[in-house]
Amino acid sequence: MRDEYVRQGLFAREDRLSVIYHLPPQIGDTSAVAPPPAEWQLPAAEPVVTFVGKISLGKGAHILLEAIPRVLERHPTAVFVFAGRPTPQIRTSPTNIAPQSIRWLGHLPWSQVQALLARSSLVVMPSVCFEGLGRVVIEANSAGVPVVASRRGGIPELIVERESGWLVEPGDAGALAERIAAALDDPARLHRMGELARGLLRERFDPDKITSDVLAVYQAAISGHTLPL
């Protein structure tokens, strides 16, 4: 986001711009999350790839739907789950995806989103629209799940490429399919990356660090110095 603001000329002086993250309320212990409801019919051991949010063109739902058949060629037992309200532009009965490979759960309360994330192998955020930060990345990482996401807006700030997740170019269904399939090739690596992502998230949004950064900016302003973060 910092680079985008500078590129758009929203700040006259880059050395006056500091980035401090606020603590999202949903970060916390997910070990006591209830299991997913049986009616979702999620597999016990097969890969579950999840999309959470508004099921719209802007969020790239159509890009993921285009990518799914290619992923299923390599991982035919994978299940793709969409949690959110679909807009009229999105077809929720695609003819090129077998019904057993896809779930449409509609809008879910947070407790059920947590249950879904806890069962997910991978979360996908294929946004085409500009994203300020990417809350879905935060929610997934909090559950120890890595993310494949678009290189858009503030999303890249949250993902360490190939360590805590992956980035793809917005709108590229082929690249998205390849990245999802490659990620599912190595479940053990997915687990390691998810744990690393959770650790990095806790460091980034540590309340003491956030407080210290805010105080440092105020102190720099009072003393007349700059302190980019």
For the segment 188-204, what is each residue's pLDDT rounded down to a tens digit?
Answer: 999 999 999 999 998 88
Other C-beta atoms lying within 10 Å of the C-beta of residue 163: 13
Question: Taking the mean position of all CA atoms in its chain, how far away is CA 179?
Answer: 14
Bridge-based pairing state of the strands 122-125 and 48-52: parallel
For the segment 151-162, what is each residue's pLDDT rounded down to a tens digit?
Answer: 998 899 999 999
Which of 21-25, 121-125, 189-193, 211-215 has the weakest average pLDDT?
21-25
Q: Is the pLDDT of residue 12 over 60?
A: no
- Give the global pTM: 0.87
End-to-end CA distance of the chain: 13
Rounded CA gap, 138 and 135, in Å?
5
Is residue 201 classed as helix, strand or coil in its secondary structure? helix
Alpha helices, DSSP H, located in 31-155: 61-74, 110-119, 135-142
Residue with tokens 């399939």: 181
Provide the b/e sequence for 164-181 (b: ≥16 CB within 10 Å): bbbbbebbbbebbbbbbb
Domain 2-9+44-223: give its CATH code: 3.40.50.2000
Please name the amino acid found at residue 105: L
